[in-house]
Amino acid sequence: MLITGAEVPAGFLRLYREIGISPAHRVAQPHPSDPGAAVEERLLTAPDDDLRGYGFSPYAVLPETARLVAAYGLAARPPDAGTVRKVSSKSWSSALLDTLGLPGGGVIVGSVGELLTAVAQFGDHPVLLKDPYGVGGRGILEVSSPRALRTVCRVLSAQVARGLRVELLVQPRWDRAADFSAQFRIDSGGRLHWHGVVVIENAGFSHVGTRPPDPEFQRRLDEAGYASIIADVGAALADAGYHGPVDVDSMLLRDGTLVPLLEINPRMSVGLIGILAGARLTGPATTARLAVRPVRSADTRGTFDAVLALMREHRVLFTPGGTGLLPLAANTLRTSRGRLHCIVVSGNAEEDRRLGTALDLITRLVSEQAAGASRAS
């Protein structure tokens, strides 16, 4: 049973039925006083009794998750939301790195004075100030000059004067060569189940996809003992009381240094979805990667259908047992600045490039149509 917070295009559900994935689907009833309420909150407000006894696999554990499980008698044992919040913090990750004696930690500051002292430790080297709960690159500010630091301190001092609390992680800006992440699950007994590593692809500051590591990259990780380090991270998470899916963001620097832990995402992730979808869709002669592309649209409700029609027209839509492009989501396109998440299944490097070129063309055509419609109006 797939429960969403908004209607899903009929073409999306039909597409997945064609490839053999056909859960029952329903839209959670709107919350009477909060249009933006999460699905969990909606189900607690307007119960669906026929869900009793189901298992439960949320994208992430929310404060309402435990109440929902109890209210419906769901077959699930989610971790405590307070535990999830604790281990999500970059401050917790940095302290864990110090405990394990690993590179990549930072300085946790709780006042403007501590911030000035921490930044001074790095001399003239640019530093990054990180919100402990920033996600997806948000909540990060680079400070590369005394003037920028003075501005930050002035803003923080004004916030403190209003009664707010300061908590930031200060780290040097590293010379990165590659971003990647470890994907695994911790079961309720504290055992780690490994899903794999994905290399994160960026274009400037935009995330454009993930792919499996090539043999040389995997060899470097093996030589650095990366899997053993991640096992220690998993053990620490289990000791803290967490179980469930985990995404650990990591980095390789240009000088060869491995930074094994930038932050912990104790939830499902796009990287994990890419791995699991690839495992289901590929065969012995094919591989899969995840591609993400921006899509602008004037008619946001019809964007998915437009993308799907172009994939069929260009004969690049995925077919079971074969290759092609498969959209992973539809409602991520229901905004004027949407994002298309797509699995690319190919038989070789040449086909992968051809499918990537087709994906770029399709998203450009949809965006150009939107731009033309906007000018005409």
Q: What is the CATH number of the domain that holds 114?
A: 3.30.1490.20
179 lies in the same domain as 266: yes
6 lies in the same domain as 21: yes
Euclidean distance between CA atoms 260 and 83, whole angstroms: 22
100 lies in the same domain as 121: yes
Rg (CA), the chain: 23
Residue 174 pLDDT: 87
Q: What is the pLDDT of residues 113-129, one digit of tens each?
A: 999 998 998 888 888 89
Residue 375 pLDDT: 54
**CA distances (Å), 205 to each of 65, 136, 138, 201, 208, in order?**
33, 10, 11, 10, 9
Model confidence band, residue 282 (pLDDT cutoffs 50, 70, 90) = very high
247 lies in the same domain as 213: yes
180 lies in the same domain as 131: no
Query: Where does residue 340 rank: exposed (0-12), middle (13-18), buried (19+ CB within 10 A)?
Result: buried
Q: What is the pLDDT of residues 289-303, one digit of tens each?
A: 999 999 987 666 788
135 lies in the same domain as 194: no
* Angle at 190 (CA atoms; ends 188, 194), nearest 5 degrees: 100
157 lies in the same domain as 179: no
- Give kind and range of the element (H or E) at residue 368: helix 349-376
Euclidean distance between CA atoms 213 and 246, whole angstroms: 18
Structural domain of 157: 90-172
74 lies in the same domain as 104: no
Model confidence band, residue 368 (pLDDT cutoffs 50, 70, 90) = confident
Q: Which of 24-28, 194-198, 237-241, 353-357 has the lowest mean pLDDT?
A: 24-28
Average pLDDT of span 330-349:
91
Asked whether residue 328 is assigned to any structural domain, the reply reads no
Residue 358 pLDDT: 97
Residue 205 pLDDT: 57
Q: Is the pLDDT of residue 106 over 90?
A: no
Q: Is the pLDDT of residue 135 over 80?
A: no
184 lies in the same domain as 242: yes
Asked whether residue 113 is assigned to any structural domain, the reply reads yes
Asked whether residue 18 is assigned to any structural domain, the reply reads yes
Number of domains in the chain: 3
128 lies in the same domain as 60: no
Euclidean distance between CA atoms 265 and 198, whole angstroms: 14
Average pLDDT of span 218-237:
95
Residue 298 pLDDT: 66
190 lies in the same domain as 223: yes
Quickly tell me which residue has 């967490």 as its tokens.
242
Average pLDDT of span 244-267:
93
